[in-house]
Structures are given as structure tokens and as C-alpha cells.
Chain A
Amino acid sequence: MSDMILLGTRKGTLIFDRINSNWQPRPILHAGTPVCYAARDPRDGTLWSSLDHGHWGPKLSRSHDEGATWEDISSLKYPDGARYIVKYLPTPDFNPESPFAQPEYADATVLKIWNIAFGNADQPNRLYAGTIPGGLFFSDDGGDSWQLNRPLWNHPSRGGDLFAGDATSENQWNGTPASIDYGIFEPGIHSIVINPQDSNHIYVAVSTAGVIETTDGGQSWKSRNHGMLMDYLPNTESEWGHDPHYVTNCLGQPEHLWQQNHCGIFYSDNGAMSWQKVSKPDIGVNFGFPIAADAKDGRIAWVVPARADSERMAIDGGLFVARTNDGGKTWQTFRNGLPQDNAHDIVLRHGLDISGDCLCFGSTTGNVYLSEDRGESWQCLGNNFPPIYSVRFG
């Protein structure tokens, strides 16, 4: 069980340390700066925060001394010539049939470094970062320098190689509302799932496009959205256009993947070759953002449900966690220790994590809850934190 929890919040990085069985928060780090993701590299203990400066551009920040000192890194940049096809937020007067006669291109700049992932032990200096507007970056020197994964950036689902010229295929990637703060409506990579048994086998999830897999270390990518269903498009089984909110896997059984999607909860026991919708709307287990998978048993997962996309808040003012032990056939709901009156929290996609039998989540209302019995009962670690974007055990 981990002795550290890192929170990315609207007002900085928060670290809890477990001291004598009590979780104690340190004074806030990166004070005043939005931190959209914070995590600890399990290989060497480096702490990472993704700074979401409103004025000065996104930056990574890392600490090699458990958080005592931090070094900001500006080297994650799109290369010259990186372009993408512009998308626009669908407004009431938006014409989806023909928003413009020809594709409109934009030069890519990093707007948000949405998440960070760490390579397996056989790639000790490999890191990944998912960004808005939809670029996957990797580093092979511990984060000193970064490169764009070009096969994914140049994928036919994004119009092809726009470094070489104009689009050669239709852009199937749509925007995420998470980009609107930056004045755009562009896609973002929020989930990077590495197979612990095969470093060349990686999934990324894109809002809004879907799940994409590589089995050759990022040289080629294929959509993995079979079985996914969309409530909001005429063709509910389209190859593209899906909105996975977060995707994760079982570390011990990595062919078991879990996905909290805009349109429900989906489970795959065959490495995302197909997905199965396993929501239970009748007990409120359907919509939400985060999902966590057990490290040993791929059939076990947890979610923190919300009402719906139109009501992104706890259901009827009561916060609960749901767990399945059987691949989503049945769900149990747990409320012990969680507020059941006037709780209107929403837990964002990176706001839930698991370490052994411990789970922790934080909400945009600034509440942090911890369970040490696999989600069955909860204790509050505090109520007045800034809006919480990410929770990760260290």
C-alpha cells in the first residue's frame, strides 16, 4: 500500500503523506497554479505535476527529492510543421454537414498536458504525455526532451500526414469540452494505458474519437471501438466519434480493460478487441468520469457515478461508489462514510485511484475521500481543498 497521495488541483499540487496511519496534507505546492495532473514515477520516485498556467503556457514540473524542490520543464513542444484540422464547437447554428468547404488547418501548440504515464521497468527513462490538441508525446531521457509520436498524429483518422501536405482522408477526431477554456474545440488524449507485460503494447483514449491501440511501440495504430455504443450519434456503432472519459487496465491481467464512457461503462476481457456495455442505469451506475481496476483480478472495477451529461453531479445529493466483482454483470453500491445530503460533487476522469485495497477520490467541490477496504467504507481526508482534477497514489 502506498504512503503518498498526489492531488492535482485548481490551486496547485497537494501531497498527502501517511504518517502513523494518518494521512496528512503538506502545504500546497505550485501555489496558485492550476495543476491538471500529478503523479509519482514508481521506477525512480520522481514526482511530476502538469502545470496548466493560464497565461504562461503548459509546463511540466518535476521533483527528484520527494517534493522539496521542483524544476519546471518547457521542452514538450509540437515540432515545426505539426498541423491539425480545426474543429468547431457545435452551436445551435452549426451545420454538421458542411461547416466549411475545405478543411481549415491550424499550427499545433501545446494547450494542455492532460496526463503523464510511465514506461515499464525495461524502459526506465521512457515517459508518455497526452495533450490537447491530441498529440501523444514520449521521452526517453526521463523527461528532459520530448518527441511527438508522428504515426498517431498523422493517422488517417486525423486527415493523414499534414506535415507533408493537405489532408488525404477525413478527420474523425472531434473536440472535447475540456479544451474550451483555451478558446478551441479540439481533441485530447487523457488515457495512456501501457501493457505491463509488453512495452510495445499501448492504448490511448481520445475525447472525442475513441480507443486506439499500438502493438509495435507506436509505429502503427488501430481503432479499438468495436462494441462501443454512442447515444448521441445516428450511427451508434460508428468506428470513430466515441467519448471515453477514462480507460484503464488490470495490471495483472492486462487484457482486461475498463472504460467509463460518456454513454456508460464498458468492459473488455480480450484486450479491447471488443467492448461490452455493463452499465446499470436502474441503480445509478452509468454516467461518470473516472474508473479504477483491481491490480490482480480483471473482473473487478470501481466507478464514482454521476447523474448524466446534463447533470454532472452526484445523484440526488448523495455520493456513492460502485464496485463490480464479476466483469460488470452486477454492481454493489457503497455509501458508508460518504455524504448523503446536499452533496453535489463531480469526480473528474483522473480523480480516482487505487493502490492495493485502498481507493481515494477527490471532487471538484474540494472533498477528498479514502477507503482502506476496497471501497466499502470511506473516511474524509478534508473538505476545503481547491477543485480537484487528479488523484494518484504515489
Chain B
Amino acid sequence: MPHVEMTQHLYRFFPQLKNTTLTVPAGSVKEALLAINEIAPGFTDYVLDERGALRRHVNISINDNIVIDKLKLSDLIPNDGTVYIFQSLSGG
């Protein structure tokens, strides 16, 4: 199953995700986020807006590639892939 890594900033709001090896049964980025939301209710409210789109200053990559579909999060994740969730750099 795909593996998920995320910025430690999110552990402040979801401490239950800290120090865990996060694997999720997911074929797409959207499915991965919904799976995390099951473990940590409210998680998607932090990375997605109320339209389900990726927030403006949040990035997600699959392995080394930034996801293309930031509106519906339909990019597919290989079964051995890693999803990275991190904040955009927006100033010093």
C-alpha cells in the first residue's frame, strides 16, 4: 500500500499521526487523504478547501512529482509509492 509522509506542522493539529508509519489503501491522492481523514478526523479540512481542492499554499507530491490535479486530486499513486504532504514556501 502507498506510504504517506507529511510536514511536522500537521502533527500540531493531529498528534495521533506523529511517530506512525502511515500506509493507506488508496489508488488516488483523494483516496489517500480520505483514508488519513478516517484516522485523524478533520485532516482534510486542513489541506483541502470546502470545494475539495488543494489549499493554495499546500503541496502534495507522489514520490518526486508534484500532483497535477489540484482540484479533484485524481492523480494515481503506485502501490509502492510515497505521498508527501507539505506546505508551499511563501515567504521568509
Contact of B50 among A56, A109, A182 (CB under 8 A): A109
Please report the C-alpha to C-alpha distance between residue A55 and residue B13 in the assembled complex, in whole angstroms. 13
- Which of B23-31, B53-61, B62-70, B73-81 lies at the interface? B53-61
Q: Does the CB pair B46–A56 fall under 8 Å?
A: yes
Inter-chain contact A109/B45, CB cutoff 8 Å: no
Name the A residues within 8 Å of B42 (CB-CB): 72, 74
Tell me the bound Cα distance from A303 to B55 in angstroms. Answer: 38
A110 and B50 within 8 A (CB):
yes
**Residue A78 at the chain B interface, CB threshold 8 Å:** yes
Q: Check if A183 is an interface residue, CB within 8 A of chain B.
A: yes
Interface string of A76-118 (1 = CB under 8 A from B): 0110000000000000000000000000000101100000000
Q: How far is the CA of A107 from the CA of B9 in the complex (A)?
A: 28
Q: Contact between A107 and B46 (Cβ–Cβ < 8 Å)?
A: no
A72 to B42, CA, bound (A): 10
A74 touches B45 (CB 8 A): yes
A54-B90, A55-B57, A55-B58 as given contacts; A72 in contact with B13, CB under 8 Å? yes
Q: In the complex, what distance in Å separates the CA atom of A368 from the CA atom of B85?
A: 39
Q: A55–B55 contact, CB under 8 A? A: yes
Q: Give every chain B residue within 8 A of A183 (Cβ-Cβ).
A: 56
Chain A residues within 8 Å of B56, by CB: 182-183
| In the complex, per-residue mask of A43-80: 1 if CB is within 8 Å of any chain B CB, else 0 | 00000000001111101000000000000101001100
Cβ of A57 and Cβ of B49 under 8 Å apart?
yes
User: Does A57 contact B51, Cβ atoms closer than 8 Å?
Assistant: no
In this assembly, does B47 line the interface, its C-beta being within 8 Å of a C-beta of chain A?
yes
Q: Would you call B88 an interface residue if the criterion is a C-beta within 8 Å of the partner chain's C-beta atoms?
A: yes
Chain B nearest Cβ from A143, distance in angstroms: 15
Secondary structure dominating the interface of B: loop
The answer, yes or no, to whether B87 is at the interface (CB within 8 Å) is yes
Instruction: Assess the A57–B46 pair: CB atoms within 8 A.
Output: yes
- Chain A nearest CB, measured from B2 CB (Å): 22
Given A72-B13, A74-B45, A183-B56: A55 touches B87 (CB 8 Å cut-off) = yes
Contacts of A53 in B (CB 8 A): 46
Query: Residue among A74, A78, A182 with the most chain B CB within 10 A?
Result: A74
For the complex, what is the distance from the CA of A59 to the CA of B90, rounded to whole Å? 19
Determine which residue in B13, B42, B47, B50 has the highest number of CB atoms from chain A within 10 A of its CB, and name it. B50
Q: Is the CB of B51 within 8 A of A56?
A: no
Contacts of A72 in B (CB 8 A): 13, 42
**Residues of A contacting B45 with CB < 8 Å?**
57, 59, 74
Measured in the bound complex, the distance between the Cα atoms of B42 and A107 in whole Å is 22
Is B49 in contact with A56, judged by CB distance below 8 angstroms?
A: no
Q: How many Å from the CB of B41 to the closest CB on chain A? A: 10
Determine whether the beta carbon of A55 is less than 8 Å from that of B51.
no
- CB pair A56–B90 under 8 Å, yes or no, is no
- Going nearest first, the 8 A-B pairs with the smallest beta carbon separation are A74-B45, A77-B50, A56-B46, A109-B49, A55-B87, A55-B57, A107-B51, A109-B50
A-B contact pairs, 14 of them (CB 8 A): A54-B57, A55-B9, A55-B55, A55-B57, A55-B58, A56-B10, A56-B46, A56-B58, A57-B45, A57-B55, A109-B49, A109-B51, A109-B53, A110-B49
Interface residues of A (CB under 8 A from B): 53-57, 59, 72, 74, 77-78, 107, 109-110, 182-183
- List 20 additional A-B contacts (Cβ < 8 Å) besides A56-B13, A109-B51, A183-B56: A53-B46, A54-B90, A55-B55, A55-B57, A55-B87, A55-B90, A56-B47, A56-B55, A56-B58, A57-B46, A59-B45, A72-B13, A72-B42, A74-B46, A77-B50, A78-B50, A109-B50, A109-B53, A110-B50, A182-B56
